Amino acid sequence: MRARRPAAAAALLLLAACAEPPPGPLPPLEPAPVPAEAAPGTGTPPAPPAPVVTKSPTPPAAAASPPEPVREPETLLVQLLAGGRRASVEVAVDGPWAMLDAEGGTILKEGAVSLRCRIGTEVPASSGKDDQRLAKGGRKVIPRQGQGFSVDGRAYAGSLEAWRGLPDGYPVPLVLRNEVGWGDYLAGVLAAELSPESPPESLRALAVLARSFALTHLEGLSDDPGVHQAYRGKPSAAALPALRAAVASTESLRLASPDGSPLPGFWYHSTCGGRTADASLVFGAPPTRAYGGVVCPHCTSSKYYRWEVEVPEEDLRKAIRFGSPVTDLSVARRSPDGRVVAFRAVAAGGTPKEVPALEIRSALGPNRLRSTFIASVEEVPSPSGKRGAAPRAFLFKGRGWGHGVGLCQVGAMAMAREGRTAEEILAFYYPGTRQVRAAR
């Protein structure tokens, strides 16, 4: 998780070079990729542990006040990863457009046909005579007929803001933000997080979760699945009807505590492996019934329900930052629900060291060590067969994919295929919660 939000980069410099192309057809836009199986442990990331608040003694309240209503803004501002990866991007609009100074809202340029524009901290000199090197401020690109735009060929609904990132060592040179309506945003999240061929009730359940998540992260919402929930812009035309139907039929619904107050985060993941995890043990969240974990018999069809992976000794050594070969690795501690909390690692000639399982998973890669729900770790002997030699590799045998907290996506799809409703699916994975409508 990033320490600083690029969304705070307002009022920073942007360099843009724009050239209006001759009228003509634009190249085809890249359709949003659709995963064959639920996205890897994506969904919602670990939220930081809730701060400990020391309260001074307070007099007993006369009556419990109802929770503040959760308001749903008309549009969302989603930061796009595309900006952080490149020094400049190509922005295109088919049809009438306007370019504004994002700070002042002044119209700088307009076009009636189409736009091709490179925006970034560096812009190739060959962009054309209309290249502009802007001294300050951001840019907003508004498609005039609601037709959306594309960034490096990926299509998005809504409009685009572009800013330069913070200059002092900030890792994101270009900050792109997509202002988008709820319907388009949620359809994009569903397309990225679940296959559009998923049963309708599982799509509906995820639509409620995705809205709930976005409502609690309105400031600095990102499309980065490693930070927030995945969003890759417009889904393919073929996928759109099913996604729109799921979103429309759950309009404004969010998951809430029994008293209507928001839940602390809305996590979901690919495959739990037989039991969802307790959020208080994985993320240090306050213990709640909703996130206490449930036995899930529904994800056995996932190819990651059980898995094995062989990790070369050298890779493990790097992951746990040992200077000498790892001679032994074993499970040091498990949580009551069976996930590994820490491993015990021994280096050649060294003393044993306890290493958090989440740290090893993160260092090796969440798609390699697919979860911390690990049954065993075995040594794969070195070919030399020498006594005392470090193993060639370590064989991990585990269950599930992802952090394991909240809804199990493969399990939700199976429940929907068995005829369970979205309401039943959410009640199963988040016990004691209810669905309420967000205010407008």
Residues that bind Zn ion (CB under 5 A): 272, 296, 299, 408, 411
CB of 6 to Zn ion, least distance (A): 34
Between residues 203 and 408, which has the closer beta carbon with respect to Zn ion? 408
Cβ of residue 387: shortest distance to Zn ion, in angstroms?
A: 42
CB 413 → Zn ion: shortest distance, Å? Answer: 10
CB nearer to Zn ion: pick between 268 and 283: 268
Q: CB-wise, 39 or 299, nearer to Zn ion?
A: 299
- In 3-state terms, what secondary structure has residue 186? helix
> How deeply is 343 buried, as exposed, middle or buried, from its count of CB atoms within 10 A (0-12, 13-18, 19+)?
buried
Q: Could you give the maximum distance between any two Cα atoms of the chain, in Å? A: 76
The position carrying tokens 């979860």 is 371
Q: How far is the CB of 276 from Zn ion (least distance, A)?
A: 6
291 CB neighbour count, 10 Å cutoff:
28
Which residue, 253 or 296, has its beta carbon nearer to Zn ion?
Answer: 296
For residues 311 and 405, which CB has a smaller minimum distance to Zn ion in the complex?
Answer: 405
Helix 200-216 and helix 182-193: axis angle, to 10°?
120
| Residue 408 C-beta: closest distance to Zn ion, Å | 3
How far apart CA 343 and CA 75 sit, in angstroms, is: 45
One-letter identity of residue 185: Y
**Residue 405 DSSP label:** B
Q: Which is nearer to Zn ion, 39 or 186 (CB)?
A: 39
406 vs 308: CA distance, rounded Å: 24
Amino acid letter for position 402: G
Provide, rounded to whole angstroms, the least separation between the CB of residue 262 and Zn ion. Answer: 24
- Helix, strand, coil shares of the chain, percent, nearest 5, are 20, 30, 50
Q: Are residues 378 and 393 in contact, defined by beta-carbon separation less than 8 angstroms?
A: no
In this complex, which beta carbon is closest to Zn ion, that of residue 145 or of residue 301? 301
Those residues whose C-beta lies under 8 Å from the C-beta of residue 58, and which sit 6 or more positions away, are: none
Between 35 and 181, whose beta carbon lies closer to Zn ion?
Answer: 35
Instruction: Give the dihedral sign, CA 297/299/302/304.
Output: negative
Question: Which residues does residue 253 pair with via DSSP β-bridges, in sequence order?
Answer: 437
Min CB(312)–Zn ion separation in Å: 30
* Shortest distance in whole angstroms from residue 295 CB to Zn ion: 9
Q: Which is nearer to Zn ion, 149 or 373 (CB)?
A: 373
Bridge partners of 160, per DSSP, are: 141, 178
Least distance from C-beta 414 to Zn ion, angstroms? Answer: 8
Smallest separation (angstroms) from Zn ion to the CB of 28? 38
CB of 405 to Zn ion, least distance (A): 12
Q: Which one, 84 or 411, has the nearer CB to Zn ion?
A: 411
| Minimal distance, residue 53 CB to Zn ion, in Å | 34
Q: Return the number of the residue (243 or 299) whose C-beta is nearest Zn ion.
A: 299
Q: Which is nearer to Zn ion, 233 or 411 (CB)?
A: 411
